[in-house]
Chains A and B, each alone.
Chain A
Amino acid sequence: MKAYVEISKLQKSIDDFQLGPIDLIIEPETITALVGNNGSGKSTLLKLMVNLASSDSGNIKLFNTTVGREDESWKKNVAYLPQNIIGMDAYTGNTLKALIEILYPNWDNALFMELIKLFDVPLDKRFGKLSQGVQQKLNLALTVARNTPLLLLDEPTAFMDIPSKRFFMDILVDWMDKGDRSIILTSHQVEDIKKLSDYLFVLRNGDMIGNFEKENLTENYKRYWLNDQLPNTTIPGEVSRAHLQIVSNNPEVTEIFLQKNKIRWIDRKSLELEEIITLLLTANTSSHYR
């Protein structure tokens, strides 16, 4: 299957912030979470993808068409939900729907109404009068119902209440089950990442740390409690250490080393995804990483 997104050597600097170089491929039927600390460039990356910002160098292809050129055929295949939308306050949900649905040939009105009902969004009130959470729900309905193969969601659940977050996940799962679709989302909600994502694309202060399959992280990060004092040298696979504990992202080589050096461990435990993300995003572990 042809990739939906192909990004190569993408770079962008804004004042003293430098994003990239970034390489990323998004295959059909996948959900990728963009994960990073605040100001790591996640939103900028999404904006670059839909041509709302222009890159300094590198290339973005959506559905085999280069973004930023005359041919804008990719646009009908992408729905983007930004974090903040300006200029909507004066319009009601009904008006916004009418404005958007004519732009997207695959607009699914039944799905839109289903989401509005599920989220209990009043369509006759002006957008500016709605609470942040309800605005977010309306925006999500206006985006998902476009029924494009690629959905880009920037912090879609930040203001949502707990039941709505659950509905949101079920909606996206059902939406994915229709086939030939992919989602890229940014989120600081671990629950979203755990339940929805197949891949984690990790950015730290503009630098690409990597694109990881979720189980590749959760199955490979292990914490060992050792019997004896830690050796002074770095143990193969080691990403952090404290007292008698070490964390490894390559348990196989770590255990071979420990056994060879007759260092016994009394316990071995997998790390939670939160901890793994924290390690990936904490600068002082970078020198040990891979």
Chain B
Amino acid sequence: MELPIHLSKDSREPIYHQVENQLKALIAANHLHAGTLLPSIRVLAKDLEVSVITIRRAYQNLEYQGFIQTLQGKGTFVAEIEKKLKNKVKTTSVYETFEKAVETAMNYDYTIEEIEEIFQEVLAAHKKGD
């Protein structure tokens, strides 16, 4: 199974972290259900063109946080996770995205008031689209 993971080489986020976060997002959004067999470390390393060291690190972190589970000789599976944890992942990722947007705006020397205005405009456009 190929996973829809897209690595950005120019990002300041380390590759293992990108893999970790994108898998987390896929699990939290129910795109990967509990019990789904994940690709082996070696297969994912080949698909994403990174080393097994990087993938192992991502898998170990995910296992530690309870998102996945490795069964000796059987493989790595998506774990049953609490709704609370899923929600936390979703909220965190939305917050991070907003924070990044604000950071970008501030880099372009926008004021907080101007950023708020842009935000309202974007929201208004979405409301209209509904």
Contact = CB atoms under 8 A, between A and B. Distances in A.
B50 interface: yes
B114 to A, nearest CB: 23
Interface in A101-129: none
B50 A215 contact: yes
Best-buried of B15, B40, B50 by chain A (most CB within 10 Å): B50
Interface string A178-209: 00000000000000001111110000000000
A243 interface: no
Interface in A187-238: 194-199, 213-215, 218-219
A173 B39 CA distance: 11
Interface residues of A, number: 21
B85 interface: no
A194 B54 CA distance: 14
Contact of B49 (A173, A177, A194, A270): A194
Given A176-B42, A177-B42, A270-B9, A219 B14 contact: yes
B40 A177 contact: yes
B10 interface: yes
A203 B41 CA distance: 28
B46 A169 contact: yes
B112 interface: no
Given A196-B46, A215-B15, A270-B9, 6 more contacts: A31-B52, A215-B50, A215-B51, A215-B53, A218-B9, A218-B15
20 contacts: A169-B46, A173-B42, A173-B46, A177-B40, A196-B46, A197-B51, A198-B45, A198-B51, A214-B51, A215-B16, A215-B50, A215-B53, A215-B54, A218-B9, A218-B50, A219-B14, A219-B15, A268-B10, A270-B9, A270-B10
Interface of A: 29-31, 169, 173, 176-177, 194-199, 213-215, 218-219, 268-270
